Amino acid sequence: MTEDLIESMTPRSPLRSHAVTEQIKSLILRNGLAPGDPLPTETELCAELGASRSSVREAIKRLGALDIVEVRHGHGTYVGRLSLNALVESLTFRGRLSSRDDFATLSELVSVRKVLEQGLGDAVIRAYNDEQHRALGRLVTRMEEAAERGESFVEEDRAFHLMLLKPLHNQLVTQLTGAFWDVQAIVAPLLLTTDEDARETAAAHRAIIDAAHRRDLPGFVAAVADHYAPLLTHLERMVPPEDARPAV
């Protein structure tokens, strides 16, 4: 109790808190801890790191916000899922700000998605199989039918890209794809796309899986470009010239 009172009267040092945060991250790596593994108790961390209780608590709070650690009240602190939730929130907020100004952030994000999928084209094709082709084909059919009705196919689109890359068994690629798609899905409705854009997008998805099924890498790369072309073109129209943008 006395220690808590003294700590509450002592000004916190952002630099010290940052140092403790880095020490805890190093501890996780040094001990080879995996998501779900328990961390030392608060008292043990204080002793091992030579840090005050307030600094450790502040560091845990920071790491929790990043999903690097998970505090389970009544049970302890564990290594987190290491998801990209913080990245999604940050990019979404930035994208919403840009939507009022120049849409440049969303254009950059879509470009990264396109380059990522094109760059992984060879690996996607090598891992592609008939079962995956049938499953993706069913998703594309639903997209095509929705486009003809003038309806959105948001869920099918997300599922398509995750399923396309799933056989690569690359967790980072899967998380990045999901994170980028989530940001795009939140911000993109602010754009006014046409029914023709929707039909072209559905057709591009069909071309992507047909190329993968033929083991046609140039065709796959071209189809991915066609998939993102309508959105990128629309975004380019929304971005004003450099000299017309507000000063930062």
All domains of the chain, ordered by start, with CATH?
2-79 (1.10.10.10), 85-244 (1.20.120.530)
Over the stretch 116-138, which tens digit does the pLDDT of each residue have? 999 999 999 999 999 999 999 99
Does the predicted TM-score (pTM) go above 0.85? no
Over the stretch 159-189, which tens digit does the pLDDT of each residue have? 999 999 999 998 778 878 887 777 766 666 6
Over the stretch 110-119, which tens digit does the pLDDT of each residue have? 888 899 999 9
What's the rounded Cα separation, in Å, for the pair 52 and 7? 8
Contact by Cβ (8 Å): 192, 148: no
Q: Tell me the H-state helices in 102-128.
A: 104-119, 121-127
What's the rounded Cα separation, in Å, for the pair 180 and 213? 25
Go through 96-110 and write b for each residue having 16 or more CB atoms within 10 A of its CB, e for each that does not.
eebbeebbbbbbebb
What's the rounded Cα separation, in Å, for the pair 140 and 134? 10
